Structure 1
């Protein structure tokens, strides 16, 4: 089988490797589609602090079961599936208290351990989640980032009837805005400095999309939500500007949740955070229940993934996909790698 290997930043090789035989308790998956994530781009540029080379990438993935290892039940050959890429110890305090996404020894496929960018991938059956047969493989490869946003929305508790603001209209921001609406938010505002991204957010059903180059964030909150502003603000951009906007303009006593990976040390006004008794929370990846909810939301038509699919590249054109993303940052949402091009 063909396997992708990033040997160094900016360098990808394709190697022939034997098709793995699934061990007891494992499932062999024929990989169909792989989504390219912002973290993958960091690896491509040599900027990911926790990834060493060589590494086989791929953690946003869909496929179909090719074989079952001994003792595996509940799955069938040919079944559509996705893979949850977290590798956790199961022994530490977070793991034993249901928060394995915070495992003290957490590794993620495609970063600290082998990813799914191969024609076939053998994996523990416990990390395999079935997909509805009506779901496309392209949609299946986007369940992972959608699960990130479902988990983030749930970090605020029950958002039914609430007014939500999202800073940053990248893939995660638009998926989070859709997730909040799908989980019952009354109204959602999204902001960015890119008009194409904001237009896409509106096309995906977001209530308000505001360019903060033209209108201040505080002004946007008041105009869209009235004097009581937002109940929850999500930072999906992760920089001093957006976090500063959130802290400065949040309603007193409300909640801010950081979803984006913050680059470097933050320089924000904690005095205002304290004085306004704001709850500053964070969100880290997902758990199995978030995958199940993400699948449900797509299957019921409550979240639209297709508008976010910017372009497909054949498996051997992995490097071209990265170069395309670098050259089209403002207009690119989700690029998909077609490991198998025979099915959508």
Structure 2
């Protein structure tokens, strides 16, 4: 079968490897159909991801079809559509024991610290898998993973109902975070330097947008929130100035949730954090319940994703997909690899 591997930053090689044949009793073999390219994947491609060694087989946003099941598998059958959490956890450390396995002490993530799904077939344990509705396309199924990120992080600041929320960065994650915050009852403003991405946010139902190149953030806040300011900020751009803007402008006693992966270590104005009793909150990945919630809202249409898909590439053009993202920059949202 085909397999794509990144031996070093900026390179992708293709191997012909054996199809998995030893399927455990509680394991499932899927035929991988679609893979989404994530901003974190691009960090790896540029050698900027802080927790990824090389060589690495990427691919953690994906969907596939069940082609074989172990004899003890009860929730899946041949022909089912599925995806799965890419988290490999110990189940024994403190975070795992209290249910926070997404921050396991020895967490490995497939596609980063463990081999991902950039190949024709992949073996998964049943307990990490999520069944997709038969009516859901494989393409939408590949968006469950980033949607689960949004589901998880929008819970980190508590109840958002009736709160004013600012999301910095209108890439795929920022867009989905804004949509999930809206579903949770927030009044949402999303910011970005790209008019293309801001228009895509509007296409996905996010009414309020701001381009700081054209309008100062303070003016945007006044226009959208009628002088009330905002209570919660979600930083999804991965740049220091965006994080600083949220910290400098959020209401006293407010929350700032750092969602993005940063290629360079940002500086934080701790004096403002202390003086205004702000909470800077970390968030990592998701739980199984977040995946289930992502599938629910994707299936019922409350989350709009079609405008997010910019371009599709065949598996053989994996490297070209990365180059396209580099070349197109802010004119790109989600690129899909088609197997």
C-alpha deviation, 1:10, in angstroms: 2.2
C-alpha deviation, 1:11, in angstroms: 2.2
Q: Within the alignment, does 1:98 sit opposite 2:99 as a pair?
A: yes
Q: 1:272 to 1:46 in 2, by over 3 A?
A: closer
C-alpha deviation, 1:300, in angstroms: 1.1
Worse-matched range after superposition: 265-274 or 329-338: 265-274
* Contact persistence 1:182–1:297 (CA under 8 A): no
Provide the C-alpha distance between the structure 2 equivalents of 1:244 and 1:168, rounded to a whole number of angstroms. 13
| Aligned residue number for residue 189 of structure 2 | 189
| Aligned residue number for residue 202 of structure 1 | 202
Q: Within the alignment, does 1:164 sit opposite 2:183 as a pair?
A: no
| Aligned residue number for residue 292 of structure 2 | 292
C-alpha deviation, 1:183, in angstroms: 2.2
SS at match of 1:164: strand
Worse-matched range after superposition: 135-144 or 242-251: 242-251
Worse-matched range after superposition: 76-85 or 8-17: 8-17
Aligned length: 338
| Aligned residue number for residue 180 of structure 1 | 181
C-alpha deviation, 1:3, in angstroms: 1.2
Residues 227-281 of structure 1: CA deviation (Å, up to 9, x unaligned): 2211211111132211211111111111111111233333232212211111221
Provide the C-alpha distance between the structure 2 equivalents of 1:209 and 1:332, rounded to a whole number of angstroms. 18
Q: Which runs of 5+ in 2 are unaligned?
A: none
Residues 51-101 of structure 1: CA deviation (Å, up to 9, x unaligned): 222221110000010000121111110000011101111111001110001
SS at match of 2:296: helix
C-alpha deviation, 1:111, in angstroms: 1.1
| Aligned residue number for residue 225 of structure 1 | 225
Which consecutive segments of 4 or more residues in structure 1 shift more than 3 A?
Answer: none
Provide the C-alpha distance between the structure 2 equivalents of 1:149 and 1:264, rounded to a whole number of angstroms. 23
| Aligned residue number for residue 86 of structure 1 | 87
TM-score by length of 1: 0.95
Q: Within the alignment, does 1:68 sit opposite 2:46 as a pair?
A: no
| Aligned residue number for residue 263 of structure 1 | 263
Provide the C-alpha distance between the structure 2 equivalents of 1:107 and 1:282, rounded to a whole number of angstroms. 18
* Contact persistence 2:5–2:13 (CA under 8 A): yes
* Contact persistence 1:162–1:231 (CA under 8 A): yes
| Residues 1-344 of structure 1: pairs in structure 2 closer than 5 A | 1-21=1-21, 22-185=23-186, 187-339=187-339
SS at match of 1:154: coil
Q: Which runs of 5+ in 1 are unaligned?
A: 340-344
TM-score by length of 2: 0.97
Alignment RMSD: 1.2
Provide the C-alpha distance between the structure 2 equivalents of 1:258 and 1:311, rounded to a whole number of angstroms. 28
Provide the C-alpha distance between the structure 2 equivalents of 1:231 and 1:50, rounded to a whole number of angstroms. 31
Worse-matched range after superposition: 225-234 or 308-317: 225-234
C-alpha deviation, 1:321, in angstroms: 0.4
SS at match of 1:317: helix
